[in-house]
Amino acid sequence: MLIKLKREDKLVDISHEELNKILKNGQAIAIKVNGQLKDLEYVSSINSNDTVEIIDSNHREALDILRHSTAHIMAHAVKELFPDVKVTIGPSIEDGFYYDFDREIPFNEEDLHKIEKKMQEIIKARIPFKRREMSKDEAIELFESMGETYKVEIINELEEEIVSIYEEGGFVDLCRGPHIPHTGIVKAFKLLSVAGAYWRGDEKNKMLQRIYGTAFWTKEELANYLNFLEEVKKRDHRRLGKQLKLFEISDEIGAGLIIWLPNGAVIRKVIEDFWKDEHLKAGYQLLYTPHIAKLELWGKSGHLDFYRDNMFSSMSIDEVAYQLKPMNCPFHIQVYKSELRSYRDLPLRYAELGTVYRYERSGVLHGLLRVRGFTQDDAHIFCTEEQLEEEIQKVLDFTLFVLNTFGFRDYEIYLSTRPDKYVGTLENWEKATSALEQALKRRSLAYLIDPGEGVFYGPKIDIKIKDVLNRAWQCSTIQVDFNIPDRFEITYRGKDGREHRPIMIHRALMGSLERFMGVLIEHYAGAFPLWLSPIQVEVMTISEKHIDYARHIFNRLSKEGIRAKLNIENEKIGYKIRQATLGKIPYMLILGDKEVEDKKITVRRRDGKNFELIDLDDFISDIKRIITEKKQIEEVEK
């Protein structure tokens, strides 16, 4: 009997015996048979002409199998240490795995250490993972006898009549698999944290305890990842936001609603001013629109049909239903409709920093990155079909210019196509998708197709920016819409004197100011480029006799439009420098006897570099240049 073995995208005919020899070398952890992942034990069920692919540690799917198996080992350890705990689900995820447990007493750090120790014992024992299949009724009876009610609930909802379970060392779990051959294959793992998680993500259900962990093939890979997590922790925008006094989220006001503190408000103003100036240069017209509108507007736009779950409840005003706006687009449509339009008016480009409100479950709210009220850097372009591709190209150029200005030069670009639930004709969807794709190709931008991830009214381009830690963040989007112009029956008069329907492009360059600020904080670890820093220079005195000179320097900086802080407190200079450094202030001007005598300044950068006794005019000229160039001060040498 010959089997087709897939190697480097080539198929080779081999015998069953030859395959067994390959598998016995100890490198394989699973196999793929006709495209389906299977345990190694499945090799005996392979038939003639089946296509087999060997999964070893170098395979792209191997790490998921390892992590899923480690999640089972963790659940095994938990059940041995805490027999009364009920287990639920334990999948692998992007950077590791988790398992949710029902336990009345919260797990603590000491518990995690105990679980890790027990896991090491299970791993050392090299216990095989054994798969068994049984009927749903048998599985229900088995898990009922074990008191595992969550497993029974899952089984009851399965359509299959035959289910599979895995057993290792007395621990039994409902699972499709596959798994590694035995526990001893796990060499490097770490339990990371405990968090609350509602059963099935529903706030109406019981709160469970989720233990997160990760696993790698080598201890070196694990160490590198743990170092990465430490760097992530240092850059956490929530911690830095508090340290740098940028923003606050108050329980008294409500979850997911941001208060911009003075330092954060300054950065936001700088970003907004830059955004508005560049949009005016690019031929956009600025708009301001209300925060609420009649509910019927959202029915007309289609959002009630497709977006209702993300909208807040409506309110009644004068017996008319009103809605907090989740989008700005229907308002921009109304501006378009306020006048008769001709082909000579197009393209029309409307831009707004519009605050919108969307319902997010409390469990997913996360600092600035996931909120309930946020400001979109929104714009809508109304154009003819002939203008569509050129306008998309202009938006792409504009997007990359803005992202580059903020220091983001690496991207992942996705073209998202028609979803299952959509509006409009297939012909229009094909035209829109083609225009987006051609624009990407003309700009020689590499992209991936994201099937079915377009919005209900049209396809889109999504740009995910890469930060300094190589993490991808969804920010920019460009969406083509044939639907809303139809729903609102907007037209323009063409060259032929007839009424035609314009095409609408939705686009956001930064996504939302809140999310973008969160990404900026983590990208720069709070050490913003000079042009964005809320305080650009701190003037500090060594003693009280230098106060007059310090005031003179401070006033001069302020007149030059430089954001400065005057520190004449009766504190030691070392303390002042330390506090300014913690505040990530780019430049400190240290003034003492020598500086006063020579009418000079000593400059200290936040990275610790000193420049002694330089001329104030030269310093002002230099930092104005750096602000204009929008660079990090660490990129610029004196």
Q: At 97, which CATH number? A: 3.30.980.10
Two tokens, residue 521:
């904080």
User: Average pLDDT of 102-117?
Assistant: 96
Q: How confident is the model at residue 635 (pLDDT cuts 50, 70, 90)?
A: low
Assess if residue 209 is contained within a domain: yes
Mean pLDDT of 85-91: 95
Whole-number Å distance between alpha carbons of 461 and 396: 9
Q: Are residues 493 and 551 in the same domain?
A: no
**Is residue 31 domain-shared with residue 115, that is, in the same domain?**
no
With respect to residue 597, please indicate whether it lies within any of the assigned structural domains: yes
Residue 127, in any domain of the structure: yes
Q: Is 548 left (phi over 0), alpha (psi -120 to 50) or beta?
A: alpha
Residue 309 has pLDDT above 90, yes or no: no
- DSSP secondary structure code for residue 502 in this structure: P
Give the CATH number, domain containing residue 394. Answer: 3.30.930.10
State the residue range of the domain holding 402. 279-515
What's the pLDDT score for residue 582?
A: 96
CA angle 355, 245, 358 (to 5 degrees): 25
Q: How far is CA 190 from CA 81, 87, 209, 215, 512, in A?
A: 18, 20, 17, 6, 35
Q: Do residues 438 and 371 share a domain?
A: yes
Closest CA to 39 of 167, 125, 196: 167
Q: So what's the pLDDT on residue 602? A: 96
Residues in Cβ contact with 545 at an 8 Å cutoff, skipping those fewer than 6 apart: 596
Segment 25-43 mean pLDDT: 87
Cα gap 561→559, rounded to integer Å: 5
Please say if the pLDDT value at position 439 is more than 90: yes
3-state secondary structure of 493: strand
Same domain, 210 and 319: no
In this structure, the number of other CB atoms found within 10 A of the CB of residue 243 comes to 12
pLDDT (tens digit, 9 = 90+) per residue, 154-204? 999 998 999 999 999 989 999 999 999 999 999 999 999 999 998 988 888
- Residue 261 is assigned to a structural domain of this protein: no
Backbone angles phi, psi at 23, to 5 degrees: -70, -25
The pTM score is 0.86
Residue at 255 is within a domain: no
Residues annotated catalytic, as ranges = 329, 358, 376, 378, 380, 460, 506
Cross-strand bridge partners of residue 448: 414
β-bridge partners, 31: 38, 54
Task: Work out the percent of the chain whose per-residue pLDDT is above 70.
Answer: 99
Same structural domain, 45 and 171: no
Of 16, 34, 56, the domain-final residue: 56
25: pLDDT strictly greater than 80: no
Cβ–Cβ < 8 Å for 24, 14: no
Task: Kindly indicate the confidence band of residue 636, based on its pLDDT and cuts at 50, 70 and 90.
Answer: low
For residues 600-608, average pLDDT: 95
Tens of pLDDT, residue by residue over 253-285, are 999 999 999 999 999 999 999 999 999 999 999
**Is the pLDDT assigned to residue 638 strictly greater than 60?**
no
Where does the pLDDT of residue 42 fall: very low under 50, low under 70, confident under 90, or very high at 90 and above?
confident
| 206 and 288 part of one domain | no
CB crowding 166-198: b at 16 or more within 10 Å, else e: bbbbebbbbbebbbbbbbebbebbbbbebeebb
pLDDT in tens, 568-584: 999 999 999 999 999 99
CA 256 – CA 369 distance, rounded (Å): 9
Give residue 316's pLDDT: 92
The residue among 201, 229, 231 whose CA lies nearest residue 214 is 229
470-483: b (≥16 Cβ within 10 Å) or e? eeebebbbbbbbbb
**Boundary-marking domain end, from 16, 39, 56:** 56
Find, among 541, 394, 525, 402, the residue nearest to 469 by Cα.
525
Which pLDDT score is estimated for 357? 95
Predicted local confidence at residue 630, as pLDDT:
87
pLDDT, one tens digit per residue, over 228-246 is 999 999 999 999 999 999 9
The total number of residues shown for the chain amounts to 638
315 domain-assigned: yes
Half-sphere exposure of 46 (CA within 13 A, CB side): 31
Greater confidence (46 vs 264) lies with 264
pLDDT band of 455, cuts 50, 70, 90: confident
Tell me how far apart the alpha carbons of residues 334 and 300 are, in angstroms, rounded to a whole number: 12
* pLDDT confidence of residue 364: 83
pLDDT(286) > 70:
yes
Distance between CA atoms of 356 and 378, rounded to whole angstroms? Answer: 10
Average pLDDT score over the chain:
93
Residue 238 lies in a domain: no
- 563 and 480 in a single domain? The answer is no
If asked whether residues 80 and 191 sit together in one domain, one would say yes
Which tens digits make up the pLDDT trace of 477-512? 999 998 889 889 999 999 999 999 999 999 999 999
Same domain for 502 and 576, yes or no, is no
- Are 117 and 137 in the same domain? yes
Q: Which of 6-10, 117-121, 237-241 has the lowest mean pLDDT?
A: 6-10
Domain stop point among 56, 71, 98: 56
Q: Look at residues 300, 367, 311 and name the one whose alpha carbon lies nearest to residue 520.
A: 367
Mean pLDDT for the stretch of residues 536-546: 96
Treating both helix axes as pointing N-terminal to C-terminal, what angle do 616-629 and 547-559 enclose, rounded to 10 degrees?
Answer: 40
Distance in Å from the first CA to the final CA of the chain: 75
CATH number of the domain bearing residue 37: 3.10.20
Q: Which residues contact 371 (CB under 8 A, 6 or more apart)?
A: 256, 257, 258, 360, 365, 512, 514, 515
Let me know whether 374 and 426 are in one domain: yes
**Average pLDDT for residues 108-128, to the nearest whole number?**
96
> pLDDT at residue 49 above 50?
yes
The percent of residues in the chain predicted with pLDDT above 90, rounded, is: 80
Whether residue 488 contacts residue 333, with contact meaning beta carbons closer than 8 Å, is answered with yes
Q: How many domains does the chain have?
A: 4
* Whether residue 479 sits in one domain with residue 331: yes
Pairing of strands 96-102, 207-216: antiparallel
- Tokens of residue 464, six digits: 């995910």
Residue 473 phi/psi, 5° resolution?
-130, 130
Whether residue 555 lies inside any domain: the answer is yes
